[in-house]
Structure 1
Amino acid sequence: MNKKRQQLIDTALDLFYLQGIHSVGINEVLKVSGVAKRTLYSHFDSKEALIHATLEQRHANFMHWLELTLSDASSEQQLVSDLFDGLNRWFNGEASELGDFRGCFFINTSAEFSDVDSDIVKYCSFHKSEVKRLIQSKLTDDNPQLLNAICIMKEGAIITAHMTRKGDEVCQQSKDALRALCT
């Protein structure tokens, strides 16, 4: 990938995740990245195209992190522990590949767009389905109820940790609740 293009994506992702999509303008991305406006528009025809590229980058980063986090799970109990221990590390700033915890970039982004049929909201939904697919691939039994419970608890834990800063507590509560379903 072109170095300047990647620099724009990385800068925009950092700014969008920290401040929100709509509160960050193209000029701020240009100023922080040090890239010329002409270069930006040679890679992205609009802010929406840049947003989409940041979503793709975050998706790749998160899926890689999640795959590594769940790589040793050999049972449903282990999957639950590994997932929520991994989330807790993220909440506490110990997952450097995901950066400082500011909630879910996909939830935050989709909340800024009222058109649920927009490409941006659809990509956010795609991310969530891919996360669910990965978790499902790690389950040893085909148990749709457990899969749904894990995914709903994961989403709830991310939102609760972001709003309360009680990631340790919410992750432990999630593990306790889900372990009861794993028997």
Structure 2
Amino acid sequence: MSKKRQILVDTALELFYRNGINTIGINEILKSAGVAKRTLYTDFDSKETLILAALHQRHERFIDWLESKLSNSDSDASVIENLFKSLASWFDNQEPALGDFRGCFFINTSAEFSDTSCEISRFCNQHKLQVRQVIQRHLHSKDPILLESICVLKEGAITTAYMSGDNHTVIAHCLEILKVLQERLNQQVQSK
């Protein structure tokens, strides 16, 4: 990737994540990036192409970050603990790889591009599916209820933390709910 293309993607991602996509125009991106319009259209044939490049970059960063946070998990309990403690750290702006917390870029983008058949919306959905696959890969249990609960609570925690600013309470609630669920699932297994 050329240096100017990377500057455009970095700038677009930062501006889109901070302000929303539809509020940011191409001219603002060019001005912030210090790049000429001609350079933009050499690498991107439309704003949509630039949006997709920004989404792709954020996706790669998030997946790499998530893999690194879950890589040393040796049990389902440690997957849950590592995931939600890492989310709490992100909510507190303590995760440099993800930058300052502004909610989920993919949820935010999906809200702006509600046509589920558009490429941007489909990419956001693919991101969520890949996040789910990363979590699933690290879990020892194959119980779909556990995976689904973790994923739903993760999404709820991100949205609630962003909207309420009550980062620590939401994480504590998620951890407690998952602890109770794991205990019940273990009791079901033992009673069989």
TM range (shorter): over 0.9
Extract structure 1 runs of 4+ deviating beyond 4 A: none
C-alpha distance after superposition, 1:9-63 (max 9, x if no partner): 0000000000000000000000000011000000000000000000000000000
User: What is the identity percentage for the equivalent residue pairs of Structure 1 and Structure 2?
Assistant: 52
| 3-state SS of paired residue (1:78) | helix
Residue 169 of structure 1 corresponds to 169
CA distance in 2, matches of 1:168, 1:18: 22
Residue 25 of structure 1 corresponds to 25
Residue 48 (structure 1) aligned with residue 62 (structure 2): no
CA distance in 2, matches of 1:82, 1:179: 13
C-alpha distance after superposition, 1:43-101 (max 9, x if no partner): 00000000000000000000010001111111111111000000000000000110000
CA distance in 2, matches of 1:56, 1:132: 17
Residue 81 of structure 2 corresponds to 81
Cα drift, residue 115 of structure 1: 1.1
Q: TM-score, normalised by structure 1?
A: 0.99
Residue 134 (structure 1) aligned with residue 134 (structure 2): yes
Cα drift, residue 182 of structure 1: 1.9
Q: Which has the larger radius of gyration?
A: 2
What is the Cα-based RMSD across aligned positions, in Å? 0.6
Residue 110 of structure 2 corresponds to 110
Cα drift, residue 180 of structure 1: 1.5
Matching of residues 138-157 of structure 1 within 5 Å: 138-157=138-157
Aligned residues: 183
Q: TM-score, normalised by structure 2?
A: 0.94
C-alpha distance after superposition, 1:101-129 (max 9, x if no partner): 00000000010012110000000000000
| 3-state SS of paired residue (2:12) | helix
